Structure 1
Amino acid sequence: MNEQAQTTQAPQTPPKPAPKGIGLADSAVARLKQLLEERQTPDAGLRIAVKGGGCSGLQYSMEWSEKSRERDKVFERDGVRVFVDPKSYLYLIGTELVFEQTLMASGFKLNNPNIKAACGCGESFSV
Structure 2
Amino acid sequence: MSFEVIKLTESAAERISEIMENSDTPVTGVRVGVKNSGCAGVAYTLDYVAEPVEGDDHVHQHGVDVYIDPKATMFLLGTVMDFEVGKLSSSFTFTNPNQVGACGCGESVQLEKADLRQLAEARAAG
Q: Aligning the two structures, in what range does the TM-score lie when normalised by the shorter sequence?
A: 0.7 to 0.9
Distance 1:52 1:25 in 2: 26
Q: Which residue of 2 aligns with 1:76?
A: 60
Contact persistence 2:27–2:49 (CA under 8 A): no
Q: Which residue of 1 aligns with 2:22?
A: 38
Distance 2:80 2:60 in 1: 13
Q: Mind listing any 5+ residue stretches in structure 2 that lack a counterpart?
A: 112-126
Letter in 2 for 1:70: E
Deviates more, 1:30-39 or 1:79-88: 30-39
Is 1:23 aligned with 2:7? yes
Is 1:99 aligned with 2:72? no
Distance 1:40 1:79 in 2: 20
Distance 1:80 1:41 in 2: 17
Change (3 A) 1:37 1:121: same
Q: What is the CA RMSD across the aligned residues, in angstroms?
A: 1.8
- Other structure's SS at 1:59 match: strand
- Other structure's SS at 1:116 match: strand
Kindly indicate which of the two structures has a greater share of residues assigned to helix: 2
Kindly indicate which of the two structures has a greater share of residues assigned to strand: 2
Q: Mind listing any 5+ residue stretches in structure 1 that lack a counterpart?
A: 1-18
- Other structure's SS at 1:36 match: helix
Counting matched residue pairs gives: 109
Deviation at 1:38, TM superposition (A): 2.9
Is 1:58 aligned with 2:42? yes
